[in-house]
């Protein structure tokens, strides 16, 4: 058949691009999940320290202010978590289309609420740049598609054309291409081999670019993980040093112990701020 070999070569190129993309996506997802789990550990420690510091009598007014700031950071983090879960639920229920022949539920129904939450807390903004915690109702539902729709390229999807449509719906880092076909067997009847080859190469190029974006994003997530893990470890050590002061009167403490408490509170606030650092 005319132009058969170039068509087959183009399809192989596309398949390799998809495989590389999927590998990069899995790496990014793994980092995102790990960061979210680490942040949940942080929240537990922060809450334990909050209760501890609140039990210190006659503590400085500065401690009270810091505790309020810590609480505000925690609430922001929890609000983002809630947005992720609610947006996932509303997207699945709405059936808003993400591409011709595909419904919102098709793209996001397989995501667990925890998956939506790691995406929300990692990226923090909709594709428009608006903070997702500020989005509500129908606007939130539509915006959710731009970042909940991302994922590994799945075989049996909408073919090349579907992949292009979903690439156009990419979220904040250009990875919203779930549903694109790795099989490349779904084509319109009568389409010429050259047309197929051209479309396969064009989409392979877009998939490759998306994969490069994923690598960059994974590196950014890893940077946040490193900072969070280091500060969490230091804060755990600091807290263990201070536990013997539980229920103390701040005014009766030695200067060295007062200093320890001040460092503990300041580092707790720093860790609370890291809860909301996004890519």
Alpha-carbon distances, residue 32 vs 106, 132, 139, 173, 225 (angstroms): 22, 17, 25, 13, 9
CA distances from 85 to 89, 91, 92 (A): 6, 10, 11
Asked if residue 172 lies in contact with residue 121, where contact means CB atoms within 8 angstroms, the answer is no
pTM over 0.85: no
Name the token pair of 255.
């200067």
User: Can you spell out the DSSP letters for 202-270?
Assistant: HHHHHHHHHHHHHHHHHHHHHHHHHHHHHHHHHHHHHHHHHGGGTT-BGGGS-HHHHHHHHHHHHHHHH
State residue 5 phi and psi, 5-degree precision.
-65, -50
The answer to whether 20 touches 211, Cβ cutoff 8 Å, is yes
Q: Quick count: other Cβ atoms within 10 Å of Cβ 100?
A: 9
Question: What is the block-wise mean pLDDT of the chain (279 residues), using blocks of 10 residues?
Answer: 77 82 80 94 98 97 97 92 71 46 41 69 60 48 46 38 36 34 40 78 80 86 97 98 97 97 98 94
Q: Do 16 and 241 contact (CB within 8 A), yes or no?
A: no
Residue 29, pLDDT score: 80
Helices (H), the chain: 4-54, 61-94, 104-108, 113-123, 137-148, 159-167, 193-242, 255-274
Residue 121: predicted pLDDT: 86
Q: In whole angstroms, what is the distance from residue 85 CA to residue 215 CA?
A: 26
Instruction: Of 259, 224, 262, give the one whose Cα is nearest residue 36.
Output: 224
Residue reference for tokens 């129908």: 138
- The Cα 102–Cα 25 span in angstroms is 21
Contact (CB, 8 A) for 153 and 164: no
> How many other CB atoms sit within 10 Å of the CB of residue 247?
8
Distance CA 259, CA 136 (A): 44
Residue 27: count other Cβ atoms within 10 Å of its Cβ: 17
Dist CA 184 CA 32 (whole Å): 29
């Amino acid at each position: 058949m005319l132009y058969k070999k170039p068509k087959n070569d183009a399809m192989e190129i596309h398949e390799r691009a998809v495989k590389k993309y999927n590998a990069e996506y899995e790496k990014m997802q793994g980092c995102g999940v790990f960061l979210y789990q680490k942040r949940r550990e942080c929240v537990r420690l922060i809450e334990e320290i909050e209760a501890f510091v609140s039990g210190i009598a006659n503590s400085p007014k500065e401690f009270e202010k810091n505790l309020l700031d810590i609480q505000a950071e925690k609430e922001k983090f929890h609000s983002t978590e809630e947005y992720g879960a609610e947006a996932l639920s509303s997207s699945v229920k709405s059936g808003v289309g993400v591409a011709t022949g595909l419904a919102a539920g098709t793209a996001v129904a397989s995501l667990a609420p925890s998956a939506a939450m790691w995406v929300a807390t990692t990226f923090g903004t909709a594709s428009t740049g608006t903070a997702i915690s500020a989005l509500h109702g129908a606007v939130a539902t539509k915006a959710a598609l731009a970042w909940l729709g991302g994922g590994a390229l799945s075989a049996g999807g909408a073919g090349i054309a579907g992949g292009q449509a979903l690439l156009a719906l990419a979220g904040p880092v250009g990875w919203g291409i779930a549903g694109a076909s790795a099989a490349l067997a779904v084509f319109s009847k009568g389409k010429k081999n050259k047309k197929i080859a051209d479309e396969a190469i064009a989409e392979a190029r877009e998939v490759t670019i998306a994969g490069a974006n994923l690598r960059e994003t994974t590196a950014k997530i890893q940077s946040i993980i490193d900072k969070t893990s280091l500060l969490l470890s230091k804060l755990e050590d600091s807290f263990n040093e201070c536990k013997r002061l539980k229920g103390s009167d701040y005014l009766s403490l030695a200067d060295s112990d007062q200093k320890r408490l001040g460092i503990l509170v300041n580092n707790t606030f720093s860790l609370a701020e890291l809860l909301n650092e996004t890519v």
